[in-house]
């Protein structure tokens, strides 16, 4: 069985993935932005019939470098599904700025930089 980190465990995809991983017998980890959301997540997993004893939670925010190395230590896989809401629309900035504002594959640097904290 694998040890898998899911970023954004409180999200729609994150919680569903965690249920699948835990029910399949994997050791799952999840990042959440605040431990205040832990009980909500555990209730969602319980509703999905998941065994939450095999779940480890780590506090980490994509806007910050802290917590990611610990969350990923010894993991076999990372499923990065956390998705930050940006304070301004990326395309507006990309359109109004020079090409240097645009990251590869058409993504805006604003979205890529937070993801790189996790990756």
Ligand X SMILES: NC(=O)c1ccc[n+]([C@@H]2O[C@H](COP(=O)([O-])OP(=O)(O)OC[C@H]3O[C@@H](n4cnc5c(N)ncnc54)[C@H](OP(=O)(O)O)[C@@H]3O)[C@@H](O)[C@H]2O)c1
Given the rule CB under 6 A, which residues bind ligand X?
Answer: 8, 10-14, 33, 37, 61-63, 81-84, 114
Beta partners for residue 30, in sequence order? 6, 57
For ligand X, the closer of residues 29 and 33 by Cβ is 33
- Which H/E stretch holds residue 21? helix 12-23
For ligand X, the closer of residues 32 and 99 by Cβ is 32
For ligand X, the closer of residues 13 and 54 by Cβ is 13
Least separation, in Å, of the C-beta of 102 and ligand X?
18
For ligand X, the closer of residues 9 and 94 by Cβ is 9
Least separation, in Å, of the C-beta of 54 and ligand X?
19
Q: Give Cα 65 to chain centroid, integer Å.
A: 13
Give me the residue whose beta carbon is nearest to ligand X. Answer: 11
| Integer Cα distance of 102 and 2 in angstroms | 36
Give the list of residues 6+ apart from residue 3 with CB closer than 8 angstroms, or none.
26, 27, 28, 29, 74, 75, 76, 77
Least separation, in Å, of the C-beta of 14 and ligand X?
5
């Amino acid at each position: 069985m694998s040890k898998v980190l899911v970023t954004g465990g409180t999200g729609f995809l994150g919680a569903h993935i965690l249920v699948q991983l835990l029910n399949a017998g994997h050791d799952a980890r999840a990042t959440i932005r605040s431990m205040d959301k832990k009980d909500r997540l555990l209730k969602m997993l319980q509703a999905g019939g998941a065994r939450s004893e095999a779940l480890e939670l780590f506090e980490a925010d994509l806007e910050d470098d802290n917590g990611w190395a610990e969350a990923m230590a010894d993991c076999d896989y990372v499923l990065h599904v956390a998705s930050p809401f940006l304070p301004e629309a990326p395309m507006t900035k990309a359109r109004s700025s020079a090409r240097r504002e645009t990251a590869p594959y058409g993504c805006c640097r604003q979205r890529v930089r937070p993801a790189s904290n996790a990756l």
